[in-house]
Amino acid sequence: ANIESEDYIGLIRYIPTNLSGLTAQEKFSLIRDKFDNIGIDIFILDKLEEIAYISNLRGDEIPYSSTFKARAILYKDKIIIFSDLDKIQTDIRHKFGKNFEFKEINSFLTCLKDLIKGEDSLTIGFNPQVINLFIYRQFENTKNKLIELDTSPITEMMIIKNQAELEHMQDCFRKTDIVVNRAITWLNQNLEKGFKISEKDYADKVKALFVEEGAYGLSFEVIAASGKNTAITHYTNPDPEKFIRIGELVLLDCGAYFEGGYATDMTRTFLAGGAKAEASNEAKNIYTKVLKAVINGLNHNVNEETTGFDIDKTVRKIVTKNTDESFKFAHGTGHGVGIAVHESPPRLGPSDASKTKLYPNMCFTIEPGLYSDKWGGVRLENTVTIIQTESGRKIKTLTRSKFDENLIDYDMLNEQEIVWLKEYQKRAMG
Protein backbone atom coordinates (compact mmCIF):
# COMPACT_ATOMS: atom_id res chain seq x y z
CA ALA A 1 0.00 0.00 0.00
CA ASN A 2 1.07 3.55 -0.63
CA ILE A 3 1.70 5.39 2.61
CA GLU A 4 0.50 8.66 1.05
CA SER A 5 -3.04 7.53 1.72
CA GLU A 6 -4.62 10.47 -0.14
CA ASP A 7 -3.37 9.02 -3.44
CA TYR A 8 -4.23 5.39 -2.89
CA ILE A 9 -7.60 3.70 -2.63
CA GLY A 10 -7.48 -0.05 -2.34
CA LEU A 11 -9.52 -3.05 -1.36
CA ILE A 12 -10.82 -3.68 2.13
CA ARG A 13 -8.83 -6.45 3.83
CA TYR A 14 -9.68 -9.04 6.47
CA ILE A 15 -7.47 -9.21 9.57
CA PRO A 16 -6.37 -12.77 10.42
CA THR A 17 -7.31 -14.15 13.84
CA ASN A 18 -3.66 -14.35 14.95
CA LEU A 19 -3.75 -10.51 14.97
CA SER A 20 -7.37 -9.85 15.99
CA GLY A 21 -7.56 -12.61 18.63
CA LEU A 22 -11.23 -13.32 17.85
CA THR A 23 -13.12 -14.04 14.65
CA ALA A 24 -15.85 -11.62 13.62
CA GLN A 25 -18.40 -14.32 14.50
CA GLU A 26 -16.96 -14.69 18.04
CA LYS A 27 -17.04 -10.92 18.52
CA PHE A 28 -20.63 -10.77 17.30
CA SER A 29 -21.75 -13.47 19.77
CA LEU A 30 -20.12 -11.68 22.72
CA ILE A 31 -21.48 -8.29 21.69
CA ARG A 32 -25.00 -9.59 20.99
CA ASP A 33 -25.06 -11.00 24.55
CA LYS A 34 -24.05 -7.58 25.91
CA PHE A 35 -26.85 -5.88 23.96
CA ASP A 36 -29.33 -8.51 25.17
CA ASN A 37 -28.31 -7.72 28.75
CA ILE A 38 -29.29 -4.07 28.28
CA GLY A 39 -32.37 -5.00 26.27
CA ILE A 40 -31.50 -3.50 22.89
CA ASP A 41 -32.94 -5.00 19.68
CA ILE A 42 -31.41 -2.62 17.14
CA PHE A 43 -28.18 -0.66 17.43
CA ILE A 44 -27.04 1.87 14.83
CA LEU A 45 -23.26 1.74 14.34
CA ASP A 46 -22.06 5.13 13.15
CA LYS A 47 -18.53 4.92 14.56
CA LEU A 48 -16.22 3.61 11.84
CA GLU A 49 -13.83 2.12 14.41
CA GLU A 50 -16.65 -0.02 15.84
CA ILE A 51 -17.53 -1.35 12.38
CA ALA A 52 -13.86 -2.12 11.63
CA TYR A 53 -13.47 -3.79 15.03
CA ILE A 54 -16.51 -6.07 14.96
CA SER A 55 -15.94 -7.11 11.32
CA ASN A 56 -12.11 -7.50 11.48
CA LEU A 57 -12.06 -5.51 8.23
CA ARG A 58 -9.63 -2.69 7.51
CA GLY A 59 -9.26 -0.21 4.66
CA ASP A 60 -6.98 2.60 3.58
CA GLU A 61 -9.38 4.89 1.72
CA ILE A 62 -9.61 7.37 4.61
CA PRO A 63 -6.40 9.33 5.27
CA TYR A 64 -4.76 8.63 8.66
CA SER A 65 -7.20 5.82 9.45
CA SER A 66 -7.46 2.07 8.98
CA THR A 67 -11.26 2.18 8.84
CA PHE A 68 -13.40 2.30 5.71
CA LYS A 69 -16.55 4.12 4.66
CA ALA A 70 -19.43 2.13 6.08
CA ARG A 71 -22.53 2.05 8.22
CA ALA A 72 -23.91 -0.89 10.12
CA ILE A 73 -27.05 -2.02 11.90
CA LEU A 74 -27.02 -4.64 14.60
CA TYR A 75 -30.50 -6.14 14.37
CA LYS A 76 -31.54 -9.00 16.66
CA ASP A 77 -29.36 -11.95 15.61
CA LYS A 78 -27.48 -10.35 12.74
CA ILE A 79 -25.31 -7.42 11.77
CA ILE A 80 -25.79 -5.73 8.41
CA ILE A 81 -22.75 -3.88 7.06
CA PHE A 82 -23.33 -1.26 4.38
CA SER A 83 -20.29 -0.32 2.30
CA ASP A 84 -18.88 -0.24 -1.23
CA LEU A 85 -19.16 -3.94 -2.05
CA ASP A 86 -16.73 -3.60 -4.97
CA LYS A 87 -14.04 -3.16 -2.32
CA ILE A 88 -15.04 -6.18 -0.22
CA GLN A 89 -14.19 -9.15 -2.40
CA THR A 90 -16.47 -12.20 -2.44
CA ASP A 91 -13.86 -14.50 -0.86
CA ILE A 92 -13.62 -12.10 2.09
CA ARG A 93 -17.42 -11.95 2.49
CA HIS A 94 -17.45 -15.76 2.55
CA LYS A 95 -15.32 -15.70 5.72
CA PHE A 96 -18.33 -14.44 7.67
CA GLY A 97 -21.00 -16.61 9.25
CA LYS A 98 -24.77 -16.44 8.92
CA ASN A 99 -24.99 -13.51 11.34
CA PHE A 100 -23.29 -11.13 8.89
CA GLU A 101 -24.95 -9.54 5.88
CA PHE A 102 -23.34 -7.12 3.41
CA LYS A 103 -25.27 -4.50 1.43
CA GLU A 104 -24.42 -1.47 -0.71
CA ILE A 105 -24.02 1.69 1.37
CA ASN A 106 -26.76 3.56 -0.52
CA SER A 107 -29.36 1.02 0.66
CA PHE A 108 -28.81 1.85 4.35
CA LEU A 109 -31.76 4.19 4.82
CA THR A 110 -34.24 1.97 2.97
CA CYS A 111 -33.11 -1.03 5.01
CA LEU A 112 -33.42 0.86 8.31
CA LYS A 113 -36.92 2.03 7.41
CA ASP A 114 -37.93 -1.53 6.46
CA LEU A 115 -36.64 -2.91 9.78
CA ILE A 116 -38.65 -0.48 11.91
CA LYS A 117 -41.71 -0.25 9.63
CA GLY A 118 -44.84 -1.24 11.52
CA GLU A 119 -42.83 -1.96 14.69
CA ASP A 120 -43.70 -0.24 17.95
CA SER A 121 -42.06 -2.44 20.56
CA LEU A 122 -38.41 -2.37 19.50
CA THR A 123 -35.68 -0.91 21.68
CA ILE A 124 -33.31 1.10 19.47
CA GLY A 125 -29.86 2.07 20.73
CA PHE A 126 -27.64 4.78 19.27
CA ASN A 127 -24.68 6.98 20.16
CA PRO A 128 -25.92 10.60 20.41
CA GLN A 129 -22.41 11.97 19.82
CA VAL A 130 -22.01 10.45 16.37
CA ILE A 131 -25.48 9.68 15.01
CA ASN A 132 -26.48 11.46 11.81
CA LEU A 133 -29.45 13.74 12.56
CA PHE A 134 -31.28 12.65 9.41
CA ILE A 135 -31.01 9.00 10.49
CA TYR A 136 -32.12 9.84 14.02
CA ARG A 137 -35.27 11.43 12.61
CA GLN A 138 -36.20 8.12 10.95
CA PHE A 139 -36.98 6.57 14.30
CA GLU A 140 -37.55 9.45 16.71
CA ASN A 141 -41.24 9.69 15.72
CA THR A 142 -41.96 5.96 16.02
CA LYS A 143 -43.36 4.41 19.20
CA ASN A 144 -40.21 2.35 19.63
CA LYS A 145 -38.13 2.92 22.74
CA LEU A 146 -34.89 4.88 22.19
CA ILE A 147 -31.77 4.42 24.33
CA GLU A 148 -28.74 6.70 24.13
CA LEU A 149 -25.38 4.98 24.65
CA ASP A 150 -22.39 7.32 24.97
CA THR A 151 -20.12 4.28 25.19
CA SER A 152 -21.55 1.24 23.45
CA PRO A 153 -20.81 -2.38 24.42
CA ILE A 154 -18.75 -2.58 21.20
CA THR A 155 -16.48 0.27 22.32
CA GLU A 156 -16.29 -1.20 25.84
CA MET A 157 -14.98 -4.44 24.33
CA MET A 158 -12.77 -2.72 21.74
CA ILE A 159 -10.80 -0.62 24.24
CA ILE A 160 -9.78 -3.70 26.28
CA LYS A 161 -7.29 -5.41 23.98
CA ASN A 162 -6.99 -9.19 23.97
CA GLN A 163 -3.62 -10.98 24.13
CA ALA A 164 -3.25 -11.35 20.35
CA GLU A 165 -4.01 -7.65 19.80
CA LEU A 166 -1.53 -6.62 22.49
CA GLU A 167 1.23 -8.80 21.05
CA HIS A 168 0.60 -7.37 17.59
CA MET A 169 0.55 -3.81 18.94
CA GLN A 170 3.83 -4.44 20.76
CA ASP A 171 5.33 -5.53 17.44
CA CYS A 172 3.98 -2.39 15.72
CA PHE A 173 5.49 -0.20 18.43
CA ARG A 174 8.82 -1.98 18.01
CA LYS A 175 8.72 -1.05 14.31
CA THR A 176 7.83 2.53 15.25
CA ASP A 177 10.78 2.63 17.67
CA ILE A 178 13.03 1.44 14.83
CA VAL A 179 11.73 4.21 12.54
CA VAL A 180 12.26 6.93 15.16
CA ASN A 181 15.74 5.74 16.04
CA ARG A 182 16.78 5.44 12.41
CA ALA A 183 15.34 8.92 11.78
CA ILE A 184 17.29 10.49 14.66
CA THR A 185 20.53 8.78 13.60
CA TRP A 186 20.01 9.78 9.95
CA LEU A 187 19.46 13.44 10.83
CA ASN A 188 22.45 13.69 13.17
CA GLN A 189 24.80 11.99 10.70
CA ASN A 190 23.71 14.24 7.84
CA LEU A 191 24.00 17.40 9.93
CA GLU A 192 27.51 16.34 10.97
CA LYS A 193 28.43 15.97 7.29
CA GLY A 194 27.23 19.51 6.66
CA PHE A 195 24.11 18.63 4.63
CA LYS A 196 21.16 21.03 4.72
CA ILE A 197 18.06 19.21 5.98
CA SER A 198 14.73 21.06 6.16
CA GLU A 199 11.82 20.09 8.40
CA LYS A 200 10.00 18.94 5.24
CA ASP A 201 12.99 16.78 4.21
CA TYR A 202 12.97 15.25 7.66
CA ALA A 203 9.22 14.49 7.68
CA ASP A 204 9.56 12.89 4.22
CA LYS A 205 12.44 10.73 5.48
CA VAL A 206 10.33 9.53 8.43
CA LYS A 207 7.51 8.55 6.04
CA ALA A 208 9.98 6.65 3.83
CA LEU A 209 11.30 4.77 6.88
CA PHE A 210 7.75 3.74 7.84
CA VAL A 211 7.30 2.33 4.33
CA GLU A 212 10.55 0.36 4.75
CA GLU A 213 9.17 -1.11 8.00
CA GLY A 214 6.01 -2.27 6.21
CA ALA A 215 3.51 0.39 7.28
CA TYR A 216 0.20 0.49 5.43
CA GLY A 217 -0.35 4.18 6.18
CA LEU A 218 0.31 6.93 8.70
CA SER A 219 -1.91 7.25 11.77
CA PHE A 220 -1.52 11.06 11.57
CA GLU A 221 0.62 13.55 9.68
CA VAL A 222 4.25 13.48 10.84
CA ILE A 223 5.12 16.36 13.17
CA ALA A 224 8.75 17.33 12.52
CA ALA A 225 9.42 20.65 14.25
CA SER A 226 12.69 22.39 15.02
CA GLY A 227 13.76 25.46 16.99
CA LYS A 228 10.85 27.67 18.05
CA ASN A 229 8.45 25.60 15.94
CA THR A 230 8.66 22.91 18.65
CA ALA A 231 6.28 25.12 20.69
CA ILE A 232 3.46 24.48 18.19
CA THR A 233 1.61 21.45 19.56
CA HIS A 234 0.10 20.24 16.27
CA TYR A 235 2.71 21.37 13.79
CA THR A 236 1.58 19.35 10.78
CA ASN A 237 3.10 21.47 7.99
CA PRO A 238 6.87 21.02 8.22
CA ASP A 239 8.59 23.97 6.56
CA PRO A 240 10.69 23.27 3.42
CA GLU A 241 12.50 26.58 4.08
CA LYS A 242 13.28 25.95 7.77
CA PHE A 243 16.61 24.12 7.93
CA ILE A 244 17.47 22.19 11.08
CA ARG A 245 20.57 23.52 12.82
CA ILE A 246 23.00 21.65 15.04
CA GLY A 247 22.31 22.47 18.68
CA GLU A 248 18.59 23.23 18.37
CA LEU A 249 15.78 21.03 19.60
CA VAL A 250 13.85 18.81 17.22
CA LEU A 251 10.42 17.41 18.12
CA LEU A 252 9.35 14.30 16.20
CA ASP A 253 5.81 13.01 16.78
CA CYS A 254 4.75 10.18 14.48
CA GLY A 255 2.85 6.92 14.11
CA ALA A 256 1.57 4.45 11.56
CA TYR A 257 -0.74 1.55 10.79
CA PHE A 258 0.66 -1.89 10.06
CA GLU A 259 -1.08 -5.10 8.96
CA GLY A 260 -3.56 -5.32 11.83
CA GLY A 261 -4.75 -1.74 11.45
CA TYR A 262 -3.93 -0.59 14.99
CA ALA A 263 -2.40 2.87 15.33
CA THR A 264 0.98 3.69 16.85
CA ASP A 265 1.89 7.06 18.34
CA MET A 266 5.10 8.30 19.98
CA THR A 267 7.10 11.50 20.44
CA ARG A 268 10.75 12.21 21.04
CA THR A 269 12.36 15.62 21.44
CA PHE A 270 16.12 15.55 20.90
CA LEU A 271 19.18 17.73 20.38
CA ALA A 272 20.04 18.10 16.68
CA GLY A 273 23.62 17.00 16.09
CA GLY A 274 23.66 14.61 19.05
CA ALA A 275 26.84 14.39 21.11
CA LYS A 276 28.58 16.86 18.76
CA ALA A 277 26.16 19.57 19.89
CA GLU A 278 26.05 21.51 23.14
CA ALA A 279 22.71 21.74 24.97
CA SER A 280 21.90 24.95 26.82
CA ASN A 281 21.12 24.78 30.53
CA GLU A 282 17.55 25.88 29.80
CA ALA A 283 17.08 23.08 27.24
CA LYS A 284 18.35 20.55 29.79
CA ASN A 285 16.13 22.02 32.50
CA ILE A 286 12.91 21.92 30.45
CA TYR A 287 13.69 18.51 28.93
CA THR A 288 14.50 16.91 32.30
CA LYS A 289 11.40 18.39 33.91
CA VAL A 290 9.21 16.81 31.19
CA LEU A 291 11.19 13.56 31.48
CA LYS A 292 10.68 13.53 35.27
CA ALA A 293 6.92 13.84 34.68
CA VAL A 294 7.02 10.99 32.13
CA ILE A 295 8.94 8.74 34.54
CA ASN A 296 6.40 9.38 37.29
CA GLY A 297 3.53 8.80 34.86
CA LEU A 298 5.02 5.49 33.70
CA ASN A 299 5.52 4.42 37.32
CA HIS A 300 2.17 5.65 38.63
CA ASN A 301 0.46 3.26 41.03
CA VAL A 302 -2.59 1.72 39.39
CA ASN A 303 -5.38 -0.15 41.15
CA GLU A 304 -9.07 -0.88 40.55
CA GLU A 305 -9.99 2.77 41.18
CA THR A 306 -7.27 4.57 39.17
CA THR A 307 -8.47 6.98 36.49
CA GLY A 308 -6.80 8.98 33.74
CA PHE A 309 -7.59 12.06 35.84
CA ASP A 310 -5.34 10.69 38.62
CA ILE A 311 -2.33 10.15 36.34
CA ASP A 312 -2.82 13.57 34.73
CA LYS A 313 -2.89 15.22 38.16
CA THR A 314 0.46 13.63 39.15
CA VAL A 315 2.13 14.40 35.83
CA ARG A 316 0.77 17.97 35.65
CA LYS A 317 1.94 18.77 39.19
CA ILE A 318 5.53 17.72 38.37
CA VAL A 319 5.74 19.42 35.00
CA THR A 320 4.39 22.76 36.24
CA LYS A 321 6.17 22.93 39.63
CA ASN A 322 8.49 25.97 39.79
CA THR A 323 8.25 26.32 36.01
CA ASP A 324 8.68 29.73 34.40
CA GLU A 325 5.17 30.99 33.63
CA SER A 326 6.06 31.57 29.97
CA PHE A 327 6.05 27.75 29.62
CA LYS A 328 2.64 26.13 29.36
CA PHE A 329 1.35 22.54 29.46
CA ALA A 330 -1.88 23.19 27.59
CA HIS A 331 -3.04 19.71 26.62
CA GLY A 332 -4.01 16.46 28.33
CA THR A 333 -1.44 13.96 29.55
CA GLY A 334 -2.71 11.26 27.21
CA HIS A 335 -5.37 9.51 25.17
CA GLY A 336 -6.43 5.98 24.31
CA VAL A 337 -4.84 4.21 21.33
CA GLY A 338 -6.37 1.44 19.23
CA ILE A 339 -7.88 1.28 15.76
CA ALA A 340 -8.19 5.06 16.17
CA VAL A 341 -5.04 6.93 17.16
CA HIS A 342 -7.25 8.87 19.60
CA GLU A 343 -9.48 6.24 21.19
CA SER A 344 -11.90 7.24 23.92
CA PRO A 345 -12.25 6.16 26.62
CA PRO A 346 -9.70 6.32 28.17
CA ARG A 347 -8.54 9.91 28.46
CA LEU A 348 -5.86 11.37 30.70
CA GLY A 349 -6.59 15.01 31.41
CA PRO A 350 -7.87 17.53 33.96
CA SER A 351 -11.55 17.33 32.91
CA ASP A 352 -14.41 15.08 34.04
CA ALA A 353 -14.09 13.10 30.78
CA SER A 354 -10.91 11.59 32.30
CA LYS A 355 -12.63 10.33 35.45
CA THR A 356 -13.42 6.92 33.93
CA LYS A 357 -11.44 4.00 35.36
CA LEU A 358 -8.40 2.53 33.66
CA TYR A 359 -8.50 -1.24 33.13
CA PRO A 360 -5.88 -3.89 32.31
CA ASN A 361 -5.21 -4.21 28.55
CA MET A 362 -6.29 -0.66 27.76
CA CYS A 363 -3.66 1.17 25.69
CA PHE A 364 -3.01 4.88 26.15
CA THR A 365 -0.32 7.53 25.87
CA ILE A 366 1.58 9.42 28.53
CA GLU A 367 2.82 12.60 26.84
CA PRO A 368 3.48 15.68 28.98
CA GLY A 369 5.08 18.73 27.42
CA LEU A 370 6.20 22.28 28.13
CA TYR A 371 5.94 24.98 25.47
CA SER A 372 6.97 28.63 25.22
CA ASP A 373 6.31 30.67 22.07
CA LYS A 374 9.52 32.62 22.63
CA TRP A 375 11.72 29.57 23.17
CA GLY A 376 10.22 26.35 21.83
CA GLY A 377 8.92 23.19 23.41
CA VAL A 378 9.59 19.67 24.65
CA ARG A 379 7.17 16.75 24.49
CA LEU A 380 7.97 13.12 25.30
CA GLU A 381 5.42 10.40 24.60
CA ASN A 382 5.28 6.69 25.35
CA THR A 383 2.27 4.52 24.58
CA VAL A 384 1.57 2.08 27.42
CA THR A 385 -0.81 -0.60 28.60
CA ILE A 386 -1.84 -1.83 32.05
CA ILE A 387 -0.95 -5.39 32.98
CA GLN A 388 -2.32 -7.52 35.79
CA THR A 389 0.42 -9.18 37.85
CA GLU A 390 0.26 -11.38 40.95
CA SER A 391 1.11 -8.34 43.05
CA GLY A 392 -1.49 -6.10 41.35
CA ARG A 393 -1.78 -3.86 38.33
CA LYS A 394 1.08 -1.94 36.79
CA ILE A 395 1.84 0.16 33.74
CA LYS A 396 3.91 -1.48 31.00
CA THR A 397 5.38 0.65 28.22
CA LEU A 398 4.92 -0.44 24.60
CA THR A 399 7.27 2.33 23.42
CA ARG A 400 10.92 1.47 24.02
CA SER A 401 12.89 4.30 22.44
CA LYS A 402 15.67 5.94 24.43
CA PHE A 403 15.48 9.41 25.88
CA ASP A 404 18.20 11.86 24.79
CA GLU A 405 21.17 11.64 27.19
CA ASN A 406 22.47 14.95 25.77
CA LEU A 407 19.49 16.71 27.36
CA ILE A 408 19.21 14.97 30.75
CA ASP A 409 20.30 16.80 33.91
CA TYR A 410 20.61 13.95 36.41
CA ASP A 411 20.87 16.44 39.30
CA MET A 412 17.17 17.20 38.80
CA LEU A 413 16.14 13.56 39.30
CA ASN A 414 15.85 11.72 42.61
CA GLU A 415 17.54 8.39 43.26
CA GLN A 416 14.48 6.29 42.40
CA GLU A 417 13.98 8.13 39.11
CA ILE A 418 17.66 7.69 38.19
CA VAL A 419 17.59 3.94 38.93
CA TRP A 420 14.47 3.51 36.78
CA LEU A 421 15.84 5.67 33.96
CA LYS A 422 19.19 3.88 33.78
CA GLU A 423 17.41 0.52 33.60
CA TYR A 424 15.04 1.83 30.91
CA GLN A 425 17.90 3.31 28.84
CA LYS A 426 19.86 0.05 29.08
CA ARG A 427 16.96 -1.94 27.60
CA ALA A 428 15.71 0.74 25.21
CA MET A 429 16.33 1.04 21.51
CA GLY A 430 18.66 3.74 20.24
Q: Which CATH number is 38's domain given?
A: 3.40.350.10
Boundary-marking domain end, from 158, 181, 206: 158
Q: Could you read off the pLDDT of 314-339 as tens digits, one per residue?
A: 999 999 999 999 999 999 999 999 99
pLDDT at 138: 84
Q: Does one domain contain both 50 and 133?
A: yes
- Residue 257: Cβ within 10 Å count: 26
Of 302, 314, 313, which Cα lies nearest the Cα of 362?
Answer: 302
Q: Does one domain contain both 98 and 22?
A: yes
Q: Does one domain contain both 108 and 95?
A: yes
Q: Does one domain contain both 17 and 57?
A: yes
Boundary-marking domain end, from 96, 129, 158: 158
Q: Does one domain contain both 178 and 214?
A: yes
pLDDT at 9: 53
Of 344, 15, 366, which Cα lies nearest the Cα of 168?
Answer: 15
Q: Does one domain contain both 136 and 209?
A: no
- What is the number of structural domains in the chain? 2
Strands (E), 141-222: 145-148, 217-218
pLDDT at 1: 42
pLDDT at 136: 87
Q: Could you read off the pLDDT of 74-95 as tens digits, one per residue?
A: 998 999 999 999 999 999 999 9
- The model's pTM is 0.95
Q: Point out the residues of the chain with pLDDT beneath 50.
A: 1-8
Q: Does one domain contain both 145 and 210?
A: no
Boundary-marking domain end, from 130, 158, 186: 158
The SS3 of residue 253 is strand
Contacts of 280 (CB under 8 A, 6+ apart): none
The whole-angstrom separation of Cα 179 and Cα 367 is 19
- What is the extent of the structural domain holding 43? 5-158
pLDDT at 5: 44
Q: Does one domain contain both 114 and 224?
A: no
Q: Does one domain contain both 108 and 172?
A: no
Q: H or E element: which one contains 294?
A: helix 281-298
pLDDT at 310: 99
